[in-house]
Amino acid sequence: MKDALDIFLWVIFPYLALGSFIFGTIGRFAIFHAGVTAESSELLEKKQLMIGSILFHIGIIMVFAGHVVGILIPKSFTDWLGIPNEMYHIGALVMGGIAGFMALAGMMILSYRRFTNKRVFKTSSFSDLMVNVSFLIIIVLGLSASFIDGAILHPEFNYRLNLSIWARQIFVFHPDYHLMLQVPILFKIHVICGFLIFAFFPYTRLVHALTLPWQYIFRRPIVYRKRPRV
């Protein structure tokens, strides 16, 4: 029974979540493209939105980049570069901690604004509220996993020897669930919550993150001329 649960969580579930992300995103853009928007509530309240949004977006982009680097770059490569394992982990904790706490501060401000400002709350959908709560949970889990479960409770744990390898195996369709059996519990919950966010990503306002304004880079420049006085 336990093996069946582990196989589902670390072999089947990631593909279900990624399938929902990929096909849900394609369907959202193909069928409901007009609804792909952040639905800004800036007109209802601006100060908290600006502070929270800047902190959260800078922090979460740094966090995402750190996750990508931690997963895609194997330990053998940093060993080849001559980077000691202790130095790598200290750097990851420092940079990840700064980014994580920035993202957490930003999301706390945005969540406080969404739940306490009556006008903002009334214009929020259920998915909007769930997005805020979900990000608060996953950020807290990530920080707790790094600074409590990893650094204090299991200082010998090195995610690059199991979790990262398992994550890379997903992309070649051969994940070994045995690797995840060695991972501390908070890391496991963090991973599951991360895949859940990927799963419901296309059905919320989060999908606006994929609508980068490329047209502003490639369009012809607009020339503004001052109207001559008559």
Question: Which residues lie below 8 Å from residue 199, measured CB to CB, with a gap of 6+?
Answer: 16, 17, 20, 21
Determine whether the annotation assigns residue 190 to a binding site.
yes
Confirm whether residue 178 is marked as ligand binding. no
Cα dihedral 60/66/68/70 (nearest 10): -150
User: What is the distance in angstroms between the CA of the first residue and the CA of the last residue of the chain?
Assistant: 86
In angstroms, the CA 198 to CA 74 distance is 23
Residue with token string 């479960």: 149
Residue 136 and residue 149: Cα distance in Å, rounded?
18
For residue 146, what are its two tokens?
Answer: 């790094």
Which residues have CB under 8 Å from 54's CB, separation 6+? 106
Q: Residue-wise over 64-79: b if at least 16 C-beta within 10 A, else e?
A: eebeeebbeeebeeee
Instruction: Mark out the alpha helices in 73-162 (DSSP H runs).
Output: 75-81, 85-116, 118-122, 126-144
Residue 174, annotated ligand binder?
A: no
Sequence ranges of the binding site for heme b? 57, 67, 190, 208
Sequence ranges of the binding site? 57, 67, 190, 208
